[in-house]
Amino acid sequence: MVGALVVAIRQTDSITMSGYSGPDGMYALYNIPQGVYEMQAGMAGWYQTAAVTGIQIDSQQVTDSVDIQMTANAGSSLSGRITFLATHNSDVDVVLAHPVSFGAIPGLSTMSVSQNYSMSNIPPGTYVPWASFYNDGYVMDPDWIRKFGLPVLTVTLSSGPQTVNFSVTGAIVIVSPTNAPDTLVPREIYTDTPTFVWTAYPSTQEYVIAVYDNFGDIVWGGYDAAGNILHTSIPSSQTSAVYNFDGTASEPIRPGRQYRWKVWSDKGAQAGVQQLLSSSEDLMGLFARPGD
């Protein structure tokens, strides 16, 4: 089966590595950290019939013949409506993403038409429904996500039609360092203290910034579940910040590593997050520091 998303999930800490199957359903994942893994695969119209767990991956060794069995299934359907907040209406993409790696499941995507969308052939599984997944100038309402988390859709063999509605708003435009909107190739930097630059967002009182490593863990900034901002305040008059300017980062920007940065607009000037108005897009802000 060609084109299935294949995900390796380390069972101790949910670190993920992913890729896609090629001709004859063959797949290969490279540079996987040592550990014990679960293997998952997914695409429209097919579902994984049995769990594949306990796969031991050792450093500098090849692990082969790890098969993932898939079965054809007509599946369920999904539909809903998209509401635009403080921005003009447009047609945006809707995808179902893997709940751990957040990779888009092949074939499970569609474009909205007049704010409505629908898709079919959704096999049994657990997904993250995502509106405006790709770089198009919109993001899902970040304040809703802060309060309630990302939406989750669980489909079983007996599930009927499903409904998920979304609210989206205009994204904060990030300037540098970042990949181009039409590619996921990280921008190369040659410093361990990059300066992050973005465009001012209306009605902002302060900005929140976070830097993630290639495993999706925050190494600097962001906010916690209680809304506490985990870096020194960045006022609305400031549209740039130097990495670790406040000395709170958990590690430096390391040679040979890839990273992603993200910025949010907060409406309140009081301590902590008050109301997130917008954020930059999740597939932007990719950068890498080449190895020494």
pLDDT digits (tens, 9 = 90+) for 135-149: 999 999 999 999 999
Strand order in the sheet with 93-97: 104-111, 93-97, 125-131, 153-155
Question: pLDDT per residue over 15-47, tens digit each?
Answer: 899 999 998 899 999 889 999 999 999 999 999
The DSSP 8-state label assigned to residue 43 in this structure reads B
Residue at token pair 């994204």:
171
Rounded to 5 degrees, what are φ and ψ at 25?
75, 10
Beta bridge partners of 235: 206
Residues 206 and 270: beta-carbon distance below 8 Å: no
Mean pLDDT of 84-90: 87
More confident residue, 53 or 88: 53
pLDDT value at position 292?
63
What are the beta bridge partners of residue 212?
218, 260
Q: What is the pLDDT of residue 214?
A: 87
What distances in angstroms separate CA 119 from CA 95, 97, 111, one per listed residue? Answer: 9, 13, 9
Strand 35-42, strand 240-242: pairing: unpaired
pLDDT band with cut points at 50, 70 and 90 for residue 239: very high
Using the structure block, give the residue that is written with the tokens 């409505």.
116
Stated as kind and residue range, the H or E segment containing 144 is helix 142-148
Q: Of the segments 84-93, 175-184, 283-292, which one has the largest average pLDDT value? A: 175-184
Give the mean pLDDT of the chain.
Answer: 94
* Whole-number percent of the chain with pLDDT over 90: 88
User: Which residue from 191, 197, 192 is spatially nearest to 209, judged by alpha carbons?
Assistant: 197
Domain 76-169 architecture: Sandwich (2.60)
pTM higher than 0.85 = yes
pLDDT of residue 268: 84
- Mean pLDDT to the nearest integer, 181-195: 95
The predicted pLDDT at position 86 comes to: 80
The rounded distance, in Å, linking the Cα atoms of 196 and 181 is 17
Query: Domain limits of the chain?
Result: 5-72, 76-169, 172-289
Q: What is the DSSP string of 66-129?
A: ----EEE---EEEEEEEEEESS-----EEEEE-TTT-PEEEEEEEE-BTTEEEEEEE-SEEEEE
Position 191 scores a pLDDT of 95
Domain 172-289: assigned CATH number:
2.60.40.10
> What is residue 251's DSSP assignment?
S
Phi, psi (degrees; rounded to nearest 5) at 148: -120, -10
Q: Residues 92-124: pLDDT tens digits?
A: 999 999 999 999 999 999 999 999 999 999 999
d(CA 127, CA 243) in angstroms, rounded, equals 33
How crowded is residue 182: how many other Cβ atoms within 10 Å of its Cβ?
8
Whether residue 291 is predicted with pLDDT greater than 90 in this model: the reply is no
Q: How far is CA 19 from CA 30, 33, 39, in A?
A: 9, 15, 11
